[in-house]
Amino acid sequence: MPQTSVVFSSILGPSCSGQVQPGMGERGGGAGGGSGDLIFQDGRLISGSLEALMEHLVPTVDYYPDAKLKSFSAKIVQLLKEWTEAFPYDFQDEKAMAELKAITHRVTQCDEENGTVKKAIAQMTQSLLLSLAARSQLQELREKLRPPAVDKGPILKTKPPAAQKDILGVCCDPLVLAQQLTHIELDRVSSIYPEDLMQIVSHMDSLDNHRCRGDLTKTYSLEAYDNWFNCLSMLVATEVCRVVKKKHRTRMLEFFIDVARECFNIGNFNSMMAIISGMNLSPVARLKKTWSKVKTAKFDVLEHHMDPSSNFCNYRTALQGATQRSQMANSSREKIVIPVFNLFVKDIYFLHKIHTNHLPNGHINFKKFWEISRQIHEFMTWTQVECPFEKDKKIQSYLLTAPIYSEEALFVASFESEGPENHMEKDSWKTLRTTLLNRA
């Protein structure tokens, strides 16, 4: 992570603080000729061979990276501390833990006089074990939870009664609902750790599948958060399509448009995108008679912000503005930044995919990893913001547990509200009716 750069800068010696000409690299000095392969720019390591890096970091019989071994030991402990705090899952297997113990044992022997390093290592080890135990318990709890029930919906002309509770019966204030969505977002995103995001770099097989090749528990948090986005989109579509009267459907659409706008104002871009996606699903988008009654000016503004052209340029501008507001914030409300998670994941993926790990000369491409580190660190800063809004358990319970229609059920409800208008829709409706009747 970026804060580790402080540690590396001190370990790598005075060359890290030197100035270089634009576009040029500064070669580091140190032990032997190999360390000359380390190149710094603006005080930051940008490339170097693995052998040179190891030679520059590891003491030998006649060379220490720092003049005092005790100082070097403290820096090694600090480096291990940041590693275990940011990526505790790296040490979940016995082999990794044994290697950590071997390293810390050798470092401890260098500080037998005052025991400062030994105490720091003991605290680090205890924190690591507690972190691993806590995440193991959290994983067990998650496995017991089930996603919201999927309602198969109406089976031909069985619209829900008008008295059945909908979102407007639970919360009719767009701002309040946006605040409760922000509560859920921050709660979900707080369970994502740097190591989860690093799985994108090391194990993503494709853009459409975020599962890693190895231990699936490492990406459970990512999958759960991605599922929340999809559930919210489907909930929005369900709430619109299940309404019987056109006037009420119009009101429902306008309500969700206002909720999405409030999410945007808060800085909750993920919920905003999920709501817009729900309203753009085919069963909702095809309701032309309903949309003709909707005041769409506000919706057009929202879609402009989420316009995918030029790699979501408008959204990225808004995100940058929210980030700057967060950095200068005086209150918790102004600190909230919840990016569109799918776009964040794709940014990390493409950053890893486009740029190579090694430069043509064989050096490690540190500039690439610094940028990945910067983006992950920024994301983790956003996840640590405490939600300033009062929690409403009733509203949150509805958002998290209300049944959502399947895709088939959404089309049934949509066609029952507004019949098919062209040959393609008529064929789709006929096929869907036949399928459902045979299934019944």
Computed from CA positions of residues 353, 359, 360, 362, in that sequence, does the dihedral angle turn out positive or negative?
A: negative
Contact 274, 229 (CB under 8 A): yes
Q: What is the DSSP string of 328-383?
A: T-SSHHHH--B--HHHHHHHHHHHHHHS-SB-TTS-EEHHHHHHHHHHHHHHHHHH
Neighbours of 205 (CB within 10 A): 10
Q: What is the model's pLDDT at position 55? A: 76
Q: What 3-state class would DSSP assign to 47?
A: strand
Q: Token digits for 346?
A: 């794709």
Closest CA to 76 of 46, 100, 43, 49: 100
The size of the chain, in residues, is 440
Q: What 3-state class would DSSP assign to 74?
A: helix
Q: Going by CATH, does the domain composed of 172-206+216-438 fall within 1.20.1250.20?
A: no
Give Dmax over CA atoms of the chain in angstroms: 87
Q: What is the model's pLDDT at position 381? A: 92
Q: Distance between CA atoms of 331 and 79, rounded to whole angstroms?
A: 33
User: Which H helix or E strand runs over 44?
Assistant: strand 44-48
Q: Where are the beta strands (DSSP E) in 109-178?
A: 150-151
Q: What is the model's pLDDT at position 337? A: 96
Q: Distance between CA atoms of 355 and 350, rounded to whole angstroms?
A: 8
Helix axes of 269-280 and 220-241: crossing angle, nearest 10 degrees: 50
pLDDT (tens digit per residue) in 230-250: 999 999 999 999 998 999 999
Contact 120, 107 (CB under 8 A): no
Exposed (0-12), middle (13-18) or buried (19+): which is 17, by Cβ within 10 Å?
A: exposed
* Residue pointed to by tokens 């009654």: 293
Domain boundaries, the chain: 46-143, 172-206+216-438
Angle at CA of residue 109, ends 108 and 112, nearest 5°: 90
Closest CA to 165 of 413, 364, 398: 398
Q: Distance between CA atoms of 72 and 75, rounded to whole angstroms?
A: 5
pLDDT (tens digit per residue) in 258-268: 999 999 999 99
Per-residue buried b or exposed e for 87-99, using 16+ beta carbons within 10 Å of the residue's own CB: ebbebbeeeebee
Q: What is the DSSP letter of 28?
A: -
Chain centre distance of CA 318 = 18
Q: Which residues contact 355 (CB under 8 A, 6 or more apart)?
A: 365, 367, 368
Q: What is the model's pLDDT at position 229? A: 94
Q: What is the model's pLDDT at position 66? A: 52
Q: Backbone phi, then psi, for 39, in 5-degree steps? A: -120, 130
pTM as predicted = 0.77
Q: Count Cα neighbours of 406 within 13 Å in the Cβ-side half-sphere.
A: 10
Q: What is the model's pLDDT at position 249? A: 95
Q: Token digits for 318?
A: 């808004």
Regions of the chain with pLDDT less than 70: 1-36, 57-72, 111-114, 138-164, 202-219, 440
User: DSSP 3-state helix, strand, coil percentages of the chain (rounded to 5)?
Assistant: 65, 5, 30
Q: What is the model's pLDDT at position 14? A: 36
